[in-house]
């Protein structure tokens, strides 16, 4: 198994990287529909402000990038206030989920 350390050098798990020194596994991340939805939201609108207030412990960067975990997404899906705070374009896209 190849692992890439922070300098971008490839090493084997049995080499110096296996000791846990400055390495991270490389994972490809594909944006899901909810991420793309939030990225496309009006950042000055009521819907986006609602997200900030609804999840105060989620960083501004994660909210802007639309990075939420399953329980947060499910909570939003059931939240009528979120639906009401979206503009017409956002609401139609949100209801398509």
- Same domain membership, residue 37 and residue 26: no
pLDDT range class, residue 85, cuts 50, 70, 90 = very high
- Same domain membership, residue 61 and residue 83: yes
- Same domain membership, residue 64 and residue 21: no
- Same domain membership, residue 45 and residue 18: no
- Same domain membership, residue 85 and residue 40: yes
Which pLDDT value is given to residue 5?
45
> What's the structural domain count of the chain?
2
Q: CA–CA distance from 22 to each of 8, 15, 17, 28, 70 (Å)?
A: 10, 13, 7, 19, 29
- Same domain membership, residue 49 and residue 17: no
| Whether the model pTM is above 0.85 | no
Residues in the chain: 97
Which pLDDT value is given to residue 74?
92
Measure the CA–CA gap between 74 and 53, rounded to whole angstroms: 17
- Same domain membership, residue 43 and residue 83: yes
Domain of residue 24, residue span: 1-30
Neighbour tally for 47: CB within 10 Å? 19
- Same domain membership, residue 39 and residue 25: no
Measure the CA–CA gap between 12 and 3, rounded to whole angstroms: 6
For residue range 14-49, list pLDDT tens digits in order. Answer: 444 444 444 334 434 456 788 888 989 999 999 999
């Amino acid at each position: 198994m190849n692992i890439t350390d922070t300098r971008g050098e490839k090493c084997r798990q049995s080499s110096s990287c296996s000791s846990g020194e400055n390495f991270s596994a490389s994972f490809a991340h594909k944006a899901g529909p909810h991420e793309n939805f939030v990225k496309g939201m009006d950042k000055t609108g009521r819907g986006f402000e609602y997200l900030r207030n609804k999840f105060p412990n989620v960083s501004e960067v994660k909210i802007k990038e639309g990075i939420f975990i399953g329980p947060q997404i499910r909570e939003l899906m059931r939240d009528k206030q979120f639906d009401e705070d979206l503009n017409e374009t956002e609401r139609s896209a949100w209801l398509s989920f």
